[in-house]
Structure 1
Amino acid sequence: MSTLQVGLAVAGGLILGGVVAYNTWNSRRHAPRQAEPAPGEAAGGAPAPESWIEPGLAPAPGDAAEPGRIEPVLDADLEPPAPPERRPALDALIDVITPIALDGRVVSGEALLAALPSTRRVGSKPFAVEAQAEGSSDWEPPRAGRRYTAVQAGVQLANRTGALNEIEFSEFVVKAQRYADAVGGAPEFPDMLHEVARARELDQFASQHDAQLGFTLRARGAAWSPGFIAQQAARLGFVPGVVPGRMVLPAAEAGLPPLLGLAFDAQAALSEQGEHASVREFTLQLDVPQVARQEQAFERLREAAFALAEAMGGVITDDAGQPLQAAMIDSIGRDLERLYDTLEQHDLAAGSPQARRLFS
């Protein structure tokens, strides 16, 4: 082989090696960032199988709030709250309530429970029965082993599906009448037109004061893997939700709705090769009426957004992809304070049982 041939072969090898090295570097540069392995974790940053809690399905990241205003909720897409130990009592502010006269009789809790309908809804509205135990003035759901002297049935006037309408009111009358007949009582129904008008008024108020705040975090450079997002969010106290692509910051008290939610592409979370899935954005969410004012959920939302943006190399944006500056976010906070005031003035303080039921 001549010197020229040797030189060409060497040059070709160097060029080929350079191309391979460049492609490898370029591939790594654009690969999604991975979670850092820790003791007890499997490769790729995921917890070892015995300790893994699989997150659950949720919608893809929703729209973020526009700068300086609060965005009305169209869907209750934050994690549904776990049921509290004791259901909130029927309330004349947000329920149609029908007394069921027992004519001085005492009815056992077993009899009241046996007569309950198989479905506890009237159309899209919750249906409930409460009773007063002997020697008590408090209303409670019927319980076995107790004796009751008064009973009432109720249906919610409005929720996020809309106002109670005439058809639903008629269904309530039928269901409550059947229940009263089963327990030997006589119901006293309020005027339908009056209650439907109350439902529409309440629904209008709720629609005007229902708010969900959302901040979208977008990757500046390299995308993120689902494991990397989960690891960074976990450092701020987020835990997996019940479906893929969903995490929540739980409330301190069991049974209450989460303080914040985090949502990203569910398909990426479901990918069989999750470490190679690429996510370029996710949304931090606050369902305002569901969380009490004293929890300072907006401040925690703001802090989480800035902390994650810094740690992950992201930028906080609105739904159009425009960066949200600190002054814009502060303006949203001031709007939120006014909303809290209005809800409290109407006895529907954020996080109260009445607000959680109405805005659900």
Structure 2
Amino acid sequence: MTDLQASLIVIGGAIVVAVISYNKWQEYKAKKSVERAFSSSHDDVLMASGDAAIAVPVHAERLEPTLSGGDGSEESFAHAESAEPQDADAQHDAPVDMMPPAEERELPVDYLIDCTIPLALTTQLRGEKILPALQSLRHVGSKPVHFAGQHIDGGWEAITHGGIYKSLMAGVQLANRSNALNELEYSEFVMRLRQIADDFDADPDVPDMAEVMVTARSLHHFVTEYDAKLSVNVQSNGAPWSVTTLLAALERQGFDVRPEGRLVMPDGDGGVLFSLSTNVTLAEDTTSRLTLLLDVPVVAPERDGFGAMIACARSLSSRLDGTLVDDSNQPLSDASLNEIGGQIEIFYADMEAADIPAGSSRALRLFN
């Protein structure tokens, strides 16, 4: 080996060591920057309330608040069984297909978002006899199927063991985020329901398919129009952040890691306020961008999901030396946030007017 070759080997080795050392140093800096950002010396304002929270919404890539919930459009998908309830005495004597709306909203079967089919029983049945038969009909396609029973005292309730029922009501959901109930799903629902009815010697009052399809498509149109998700991003102003250290710090700040890998901020009542994404795969070591996402129609206005998400985004931006930007990487100004805040108020008011308030059980079923 000549002196030249030996020198080249030494130089090459020195370069490799320098590159490895540099990469390690960068990883160390990314980790330490996150650790410093979430050290105990910082106030915990990720979920601050009151004066510390900023109650304004964020940039919405899909938000187009031109929806009309107060022009009567809600009537276009109200099912035929949604007739006005009579007085208290009349409710007890109401026919099988007239479930009082005030009671229905707490029941598995919902007159507004389900195609309801009453089943008149020839004899009273106990819940323990009914329930096993219903287990075979829980879904048709992607649409859930629910049942309610009319108790012997005239009131409607979820069917339970020990209950005695004089009539039943079946309901298949008319639409969800994916699509509207279609002819094949409805036909399957009716066919399987008739089999259950035969076991109970019941007589189902099946609505016309064409009318059901029109109602289903109208409801799905509503779901499509109000399917809004708002996002805000925190973009690093300098070096990227260590993902491993960042995830551990976010968990300490209240985020939950779901089985599918999503980070979510719980609302304290079993639901989700908003989610967070690192925008990288599990194989990546660092990230330069965090995205917070709010599913608007499934979070009730009183939970202030917008304000909570913005407060969290601002806190992350401050701690991590980042900037709040929209999906086009443009900085989010207070003026634009305030403008969208007004639009969101209209959005929620329209949903309320359509009798499908954001965050309600109806909204949770439809936007699923």
TM-score range for the pair, normalised by the shorter chain length: 0.7 to 0.9
Relative to structure 1, is the Cα distance of residues 225 and 30 closer, same or farther in structure 2, using a 3 angstrom cutoff?
Answer: closer
Q: Tell me which of 295, 300, 303 is aligned to 2:308.
A: 300
CA contact (8 A) 1:340 1:350 kept: yes
Which residue of structure 2 lines up, in the alignment, with residue 93 of structure 1?
A: 112
CA contact (8 A) 1:117 1:179 kept: no
Correspondence 1:108 to 2:108: no
Q: Which digits, 9 at most, give the CA deviation of each residue in 1:101-134, with x for residues without a partner?
A: 002x111212111112435111221111221333
Code of the aligned partner of 2:109: L
Q: Report the alpha carbon displacement of residue 235 of structure 1 after superposing the two structures with TM.
A: 5.1
Q: Which digits, 9 at most, give the CA deviation of each residue in 1:174-232, with x for residues without a partner?
A: 12111211222110011111111011111112211111111122222121223332244
**Residues 213-232 of structure 1 aligned to structure 2 (within 5 Å):** 213-232=230-249
Q: Distance in 2 between matches of 1:67 and 1:326?
A: 19
Correspondence 1:309 to 2:317: yes
Q: Distance in 2 between matches of 1:193 and 1:319?
A: 42
Q: Report the alpha carbon displacement of residue 26 of structure 1 after superposing the two structures with TM.
A: 7.0
Correspondence 1:258 to 2:272: yes
Correspondence 1:159 to 2:154: no
Percentage of matched positions with identical amino acids: 35
Relative to structure 1, is the Cα distance of residues 135 and 18 closer, same or farther in structure 2, using a 3 angstrom cutoff?
Answer: same
Code of the aligned partner of 2:303: E
SS in 1 for 2:172: strand
Q: Distance in 1 between matches of 2:18 and 2:61?
A: 44
- Normalized against structure 1, the TM-score is what? 0.74
Relative to structure 1, is the Cα distance of residues 204 and 17 closer, same or farther in structure 2, using a 3 angstrom cutoff?
Answer: closer
CA contact (8 A) 2:63 2:230 kept: no
Which residue of structure 2 lines up, in the alignment, with residue 33 of structure 1?
A: 31
Code of the aligned partner of 2:356: L
Relative to structure 1, is the Cα distance of residues 87 and 27 closer, same or farther in structure 2, using a 3 angstrom cutoff?
Answer: farther
Relative to structure 1, is the Cα distance of residues 21 and 281 closer, same or farther in structure 2, using a 3 angstrom cutoff?
Answer: same
Which residue of structure 2 lines up, in the alignment, with residue 60 of structure 1?
A: none
Q: Report the alpha carbon displacement of residue 23 of structure 1 after superposing the two structures with TM.
A: 7.5
Which residue of structure 1 lines up, in the alignment, with residue 225 of structure 2?
A: 208
Q: Tell me which of 177, 184, 187 is aligned to 2:194.
A: 177
Code of the aligned partner of 2:332: L
Code of the aligned partner of 1:259: L
Q: Tell me which of 65, 73, 88 is aligned to 2:60.
A: 65
CA contact (8 A) 1:67 1:329 kept: no
Code of the aligned partner of 1:102: L
Code of the aligned partner of 1:114: P
Root-mean-square deviation (CA, aligned residues, Å) is 3.1
Code of the aligned partner of 1:152: M
Code of the aligned partner of 1:155: V
Q: Report the alpha carbon displacement of residue 344 of structure 1 after superposing the two structures with TM.
A: 0.3
Q: Distance in 1 between matches of 2:353 and 2:253?
A: 33
SS in 1 for 2:239: coil
SS in 1 for 2:165: strand
Q: Report the alpha carbon displacement of residue 27 of structure 1 after superposing the two structures with TM.
A: 4.7
Q: Report the alpha carbon displacement of residue 319 of structure 1 after superposing the two structures with TM.
A: 1.9
Unaligned runs of 5+ in 2: 1-12, 37-58, 68-104
Q: Which digits, 9 at most, give the CA deviation of each residue in 1:234-255, with x for residues without a partner?
A: 45422222222x211112223x
Which residue of structure 2 lines up, in the alignment, with residue 120 of structure 1?
A: 138
Correspondence 1:354 to 2:367: no
CA contact (8 A) 1:263 1:282 kept: yes
Q: Distance in 2 between matches of 1:353 and 1:156?
A: 13
Q: Report the alpha carbon displacement of residue 277 of structure 1 after superposing the two structures with TM.
A: 1.2
SS in 2 for 1:115: helix
Relative to structure 1, is the Cα distance of residues 17 and 115 closer, same or farther in structure 2, using a 3 angstrom cutoff?
Answer: closer
Q: Distance in 2 between matches of 1:334 and 1:232?
A: 33
Unaligned runs of 5+ in 1: 1-15, 38-63, 73-85
Q: Report the alpha carbon displacement of residue 342 of structure 1 after superposing the two structures with TM.
A: 0.3
Which residue of structure 1 lines up, in the alignment, with residue 156 of structure 2?
A: 138
CA contact (8 A) 2:148 2:156 kept: no
